[in-house]
Amino acid sequence: MSVPQIGVGVFVFRSKTDPHFVIGVRKGSTGAGTYALPGGHLEYGESFEKCAVREVMEETGLAICDVRFLTATNSVFADVGKHYVTIFMVAVAAEVNGVVPQPRLLEPDKCEGWGWCTLPQMRDMDNAACQLFQPLLSLMEQRPDSCELLEHR
Ligand code: 8DG
Ligand code: MG
Ligand code: MG
């Protein structure tokens, strides 16, 4: 058991109007094999927005804009004695020369690969063949209003 830690997860949408956001399969740590958003630990003195920008750049190479707070959730990983408060942020991928770049796999030891999906597709991903990272399940369970907002933004 350890004291609760703070994780930041980022919904990176392909554009202001496109419903697709970046998602990938985790590798080599808590929740390996599950679908999760780019993100990581909040560092000392860091704002939620700065953490979101840094983690998304480190993990996918995407620059993001319109970075906003969505909500916070509580997740206990009882099997490994960890407790995370997740700060969920929403952002839009920044265009480069008028084009949205593809997310790149910059930390191949931590993620199997990045792709784009919609919220309904993400809900469908929680099945026998694959599962969602626990904070995403917490989001759907604990913050249905925020999910609605995401779906109809
Ligand atoms: P870091 O230690 O370099 O800051 O982070 P990382 O190497 O990117 O690790 P991570 O496992 O991706 O993120 C650290 C923890 O953050 C993770 O073990 C659990 C927590 N976390 C949440 N929600 C989310 C989320 O939506 N996405 C990601 N990637 N991590 C999350 O609580
Ligand atoms: Mg990271
Ligand atoms: Mg990460």
Ligand 3 is a single-atom ion; what residues have CB below 5 A from it? Answer: 40
* Domain span including residue 35: 5-151
Alpha-carbon distance of 112 to 28, in angstroms, equals 10
Average pLDDT over the chain reads: 96
- Structural domain count of the chain: 1
Alpha-carbon distance of 45 to 74, in angstroms, equals 21
Spacing, Cα 40 to ligand 3 middle (Å): 4
Contact 11, 90 (CB under 8 A): yes
Band (153; pLDDT cuts 50, 70, 90): confident
Query: What ipTM did this prediction achieve?
Result: 0.95
Spacing, Cα 7 to ligand 1 middle (Å): 5
Extended strands (E) in the chain: 5-13, 21-26, 34-36, 39-41, 64-77, 82-93, 111-117, 131-132
pLDDT of residue 44: 98
Across the range 61-70, mean pLDDT stands at 98
Ligand 1 atom with the shortest distance to the CA of 88: 26
How many degrees, rounded to 5, is the angle at CA 82 between CA 84 and CA 62?
Answer: 45
pLDDT of residue 11: 98
> Does the pLDDT at position 68 exceed 80?
yes
| 136 sits in which H/E element | helix 134-142
- Structure token pair of residue 30: 């808590």
pLDDT of residue 82: 94
CATH number of the domain residue 20 falls in: 3.90.79.10
Protein residue with its CA nearest to atom 16 in ligand 1 = 7
Alpha-carbon distance of 58 to 95, in angstroms, equals 17
Contact 149, 70 (CB under 8 A): yes
Across the range 90-101, mean pLDDT stands at 96
Across the range 90-102, mean pLDDT stands at 96
How many residues in the chain?
Answer: 153
